Amino acid sequence: MSTPRVRLIQSTLRCLEVLDALAATEEPVSVSELARRMDARRGTLHQQLQTLVHAGWARQTPDAKYYLSLRALHVGKAALTQAGLAERLLPSLEELAERTGEAAALAVLDGTDVLIVQRVESPHLIRADIRVGTRMPLATSAAGLVLLAHADDARRAGLAGRGVAVPAPEVLDGIRERGYAVQKGEYQPGLSSAAVPVTLGPDEELLTLSMAAPTERFDEARAVTLLLEAQQEFYRG
């Protein structure tokens, strides 16, 4: 039996691309700057942004810059709940943060970046400044290395075609075999992290559990041991 053809609504896809582009910025952005980043026509992009403002997905500043509205946060929280992340992973993150004394986070592959979708902060005054919504490069973050290692060949090829630096196959093979990835100062000088994979939901979406700390107090062996234990506790739960 053949699969029915699905007609996609291109205008909707383009508006969703604009939402993704807004999510990748840390501050309100002008039409010109966003057009440059997206390689898009300013006139068309302006119409799309105004559509998103009218629909309540974006806001416009007095100096004609755009940023996401809090509706995106509401939908993001709903996605976490529907996927079971809030119920299943938040307790694991809280326990991991308590046991390590450092920040613990949950991340996914979003476009060409790592996206932090849940985080429990470290009690230390000096800590990694990474918040929910932070985007990190794939090749220099522990979570990104795990996501790359467990992506299929087509996905990695697609990412490489979009300019993402993809480590050599033997590096990714080693991460899969060990079951974790570690980075020391590659994402940010003085910051180290470790990450392990977890899957969730009926489609087994790949996510990562990670912890990060200033390199001076990062204990790799202990971090990896606690992450692997948290991973097993998650699956048992």
pLDDT, tens digit, 9 for 90 and up, residues 24-36: 777 899 999 999 9
pLDDT at 86 over 60: no
Question: Is residue 130 very low, low, confident or very high in pLDDT (cuts 50, 70, 90)?
Answer: low
- Tell me if 61 sits within 8 A of 67, measured CB to CB: yes
The reply to whether CATH 1.10.10.10 applies to domain 10-69 is yes
What φ, ψ does residue 70 adopt, rounded to 5°?
-75, -5
Provide mean pLDDT across the span 105-110.
Answer: 86
Question: Would you state the pLDDT for residue 125?
Answer: 46
Question: Would you state the pLDDT for residue 93?
Answer: 78
- Listed in order, strand segments (DSSP E) in the chain are 29-30, 58-60, 65-68, 103-110, 113-120, 135-137, 181-184, 191-200, 205-214
- Tell me if 39 sits within 8 A of 17, measured CB to CB: no
What's the rounded Cα separation, in Å, for the pair 53 and 57? 6
74-236 has which fold? Beta-Lactamase (3.30.450)
What φ, ψ does residue 196 adopt, rounded to 5°?
-130, 155
Question: Would you state the pLDDT for residue 186?
Answer: 87
Measured on CA atoms in the order 8, 11, 14, 16, is the torsion positive or negative?
negative
Question: Is residue 234 very low, low, confident or very high in pLDDT (cuts 50, 70, 90)?
Answer: confident
- Tell me if 106 sits within 8 A of 209, measured CB to CB: yes
Question: Would you state the pLDDT for residue 79?
Answer: 67
Question: Is residue 133 very low, low, confident or very high in pLDDT (cuts 50, 70, 90)?
Answer: confident
Highest mean pLDDT of the ranges 44-58, 108-122, 195-209 = 44-58
Q: List residues bridging with 119 in a β-sheet.
A: 105
For residue 176, how far is the Cα from the chain centroid? 19
The strand pair at 135-137 and 113-120 is best described as antiparallel
Q: Which pTM was predicted?
A: 0.68
| Percent of the chain at pLDDT exceeding 70 | 84
What mean pLDDT is reported for the chain? 83
Question: Would you state the pLDDT for residue 47?
Answer: 93
Q: Which residue has the higher pLDDT, 4 or 91?
A: 91
Domain definitions of the chain by residue range: 10-69, 74-236
- Tell me if 70 sits within 8 A of 77, measured CB to CB: no
What's the rounded Cα separation, in Å, for the pair 178 and 185? 20
CA dist list (Å): 26 to 21, 23, 134, 135: 11, 8, 9, 10
Which tokens sit at 140? 């220099």
Provide mean pLDDT across the span 41-57.
Answer: 91
Question: Is residue 148 very low, low, confident or very high in pLDDT (cuts 50, 70, 90)?
Answer: very high
Q: List residues bridging with 60 in a β-sheet.
A: 66
CA dist list (Å): 47 to 35, 40, 103: 12, 12, 41
- Helix 142-150, helix 169-178: angle, nearest 10: 100
Q: Which residue has the tokens 């991991």?
A: 96
Question: Is residue 195 very low, low, confident or very high in pLDDT (cuts 50, 70, 90)?
Answer: very high
**Range in 21-25, 39-43, 211-215 with the lowest mean pLDDT:** 21-25
pLDDT at 65 over 90: yes
Question: Is residue 126 very low, low, confident or very high in pLDDT (cuts 50, 70, 90)?
Answer: very low
